[in-house]
């Protein structure tokens, strides 16, 4: 990859911060409901691994930063199975699995739900199309 001297040289996504109100409750959701591996804790910060990207759970540093997070799209191989698993754990569903787009080699499916803190999250699955 060639980096232009006028750009910051971004090579990937290293970490995403998610605002939470109740750190213990949020950590339990991401660990127990979503099944993400806990990397470490540091004071009032909790870090999980999501396929090589760190998810940081913490209280907002300043009042102006205290708002729901951006939508995180979690890639899953079987969206219907993952959706049923969320339902079984009483996760609040915003939009059940639905076909979003037909691509040349796959169909893109998504489902939206809330975490324990009211942040909107999504499942996404690229379902291969028959040849």
Range of the domain at 30: 15-128
Q: What is the pLDDT of residue 12?
A: 77
In CATH, what number is assigned to the domain containing residue 119?
3.10.180.10
In a domain, 82, yes or no: yes
- Residues contacting residue 24 through CB under 8 Å, at least 6 positions apart: none
* Domain count along the chain: 1
In a domain, 20, yes or no: yes
Read out DSSP for the chain?
Answer: ----TTS----S--EEEEE-S-HHHHHHIIIIIS-PPEEEEETTEEEEEETTEEEEEE--SSGGG-SPPPPEEEE-S-HHHHHHHHHHTTPPEEEEEEEEEE-SSEEEEEEEEE-TTS-EEEEEEEEEPP-
Which is it for strands 72-75 and 120-128: parallel, antiparallel or unpaired? parallel
In a domain, 94, yes or no: yes
pLDDT in tens, the chain (131 residues): 555 566 656 677 889 999 999 999 999 999 999 999 999 999 999 999 999 999 999 998 888 888 888 889 999 999 999 999 999 999 999 999 999 989 899 999 999 999 999 999 999 999 998 87
In a domain, 2, yes or no: no
In a domain, 8, yes or no: no
């Amino acid at each position: 990859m060639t980096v232009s001297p006028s750009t910051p040289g971004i090579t990937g996504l290293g970490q995403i911060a998610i605002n939470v109100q109740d750190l213990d409750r949020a950590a339990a959701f991401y660990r127990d409901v979503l099944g993400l591996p806990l990397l470490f804790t540091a004071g009032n910060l909790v870090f999980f691994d999501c396929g090589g990207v760190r998810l940081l759970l913490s209280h907002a540093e300043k009042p102006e930063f205290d708002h729901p997070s951006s939508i995180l799209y979690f890639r899953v191989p079987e969206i219907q199975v993952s959706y049923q698993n969320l339902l079984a754990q009483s996760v609040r569903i915003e939009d059940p699995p639905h076909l979003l787009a037909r691509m040349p080699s796959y169909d893109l499916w998504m489902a939206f739900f809330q975490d324990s803190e009211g942040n909107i999250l999504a499942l996404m699955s690229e379902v291969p199309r028959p040849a």
